[in-house]
Structure 1
Amino acid sequence: MTPDAPNFGEDMVTAARVLAALGMVTAFGHVSVRHADHVLITPAIDLAEATPDTLVGIPLDARTLPAGAPGEAWVHLAVYRARPDVDAVARAIPESAFAAGSVTSRIPPLHGQGAMLGEAVPVHDDARLMRSAAIAEAAVRTLGKADALVLRGNGAVTTGCSPGHAVARMWLLDVTCRLHLAARQAGASRPLTPDEIASWRAAAPPLLDRLWAHLRRTTES
């Protein structure tokens, strides 16, 4: 952790452990937060075992990753460099994202809460591990202005103003992918309209707070 960092540790560890308890990660996955010109990220360990002392600091302009950082930390750096509105990133591997990412290139919201991921969730058509700046930057170009990205064959990335919001969006992404798959099987679907999406997105911050509190309570009990 960077020596001058505020106490982000407990928030990040809570987010990491909730993500693990939700079954969105196995031995792989990470959570990060922006702090000034650095990123704090969970190390390359099981997220259920993360502690504040294990967090790794990475300069935003890093050209190499420090010891202990996950190999795909590049995607976190790429998001922060491209999106000044983002302060936290979650990287996970919900099984529904593998399925949805294999059948489409774009996942429109079918329910209001799904709109909190963006006008649609893009699918990045590259299943390689994002273990280089170039591969990660290409994925972030696909992300664009959305708050969630499905990586074909490689899980998903979500963003937020806090680690809790990023994890809440990962849970919503799992729901969105499962609804998309069910709707495809049932036949024609009816996505939300642009006005409906805008309305839900405007209401998102307090709703994400409530969802995050619910996820914490249900996984910690």
Structure 2
Amino acid sequence: MKDLAAQQRDVRLLARACDRAGLATAYGHCSVRLDASSFLVCAPKPMGLVTPQDLGSIVHLDAPLPEGVLGEVRMHREVYRLRPDVNAILRFISPHVTALAALGRTPRPRHGFGAYFAPQVPLWPNPELVRNDSAAEGVARTMGKNAGVVVSVNGALVGGADVAQALTLAIFLEDAARVELCALQGGCADQAGLSAEQCAARATWAGRVAERQWEYWVRGDPEQ
């Protein structure tokens, strides 16, 4: 298991990679699980402005959020509670996911990247910011066993086995939303996407799928 200093570095790398990938501007946050009862969330500032000197905050699953931690980090806490398989979370607001959510839609699995969210990305329908425990619990339960959840018009949240998977899933979800919008614009949204069998076969992490995304987006980072 990595020590706390290495976990702090991972969170900073994930934050800046998310910004480089165009998934967040002034808003968003990311975290990594520390153990069965706590996680580490990035500094409360725009992810692209996180510096090598910034330290994240430790949040305990059975306690209120620490002072200074952003209110929507409650979503991380509730997902970690419900999903022991999730070790890294990325909360982001990207353009295609948000545009699609404004139509009350989420991506269907129409291409390889979308297959990771089969049968379809769930939607938390309330457009208000998630700043209370009840709403955060609702988002986590809406996500269920899916790799992500669209948080109405406020972006999305994804959870992976590690930071590389979390980043990859965020990139894949935004691209799936782009493809869905193209289908809508072309009048083809009613056409079937990939089948359940095709999705199961395609949604693989073999072949360094996540690792290659991670290497691409952290290249040149001051802590890499």
Given the two structures, how large is their TM-score scaled by the length of structure 2? 0.89
CA distance in 2, matches of 1:198, 1:212: 23
Equivalent position of 1:65 in the other structure:
65
- Which aligned pairs between 1:129-148 and structure 2 lie closer than 5 A? 129-148=129-148
Residues 34, 40 of structure 1: 8 Å contact kept: yes
User: SS at 1:197's partner residue?
Assistant: helix
CA-to-aligned-CA distance 1:89-126 (integer Å, 9 cap, x gap): 00010011111112244421111122123432112101
Equivalent position of 1:21 in the other structure:
20
| Counterpart check, 1:179 vs 2:175 | no
CA distance in 2, matches of 1:52, 1:118: 39
User: SS at 1:212's partner residue?
Assistant: helix
CA distance in 2, matches of 1:52, 1:160: 25
CA distance in 1, matches of 2:205, 2:84: 21
Q: Give 1:191 shift.
A: 0.6
Q: Give 1:199 shift.
A: 0.6
Equivalent position of 1:208 in the other structure:
210
- Which aligned pairs between 1:93-112 and structure 2 lie closer than 5 A? 93-112=93-112
Q: Which runs of 5+ in 1 are unaligned?
A: none
User: SS at 1:35's partner residue?
Assistant: strand
Letter in 2 for 1:193: S
Residues 97, 106 of structure 2: 8 Å contact kept: no
Given the two structures, how large is their TM-score scaled by the length of structure 1? 0.90
Q: Which runs of 4+ in 1 moved over 4 A?
A: none
Identity %: 31
Residues 123, 142 of structure 2: 8 Å contact kept: yes
CA distance in 2, matches of 1:136, 1:200: 31
Equivalent position of 1:54 in the other structure:
55
CA distance in 1, matches of 2:170, 2:40: 19
Letter in 1 for 2:79: V
Q: Which runs of 5+ in 2 are unaligned?
A: none
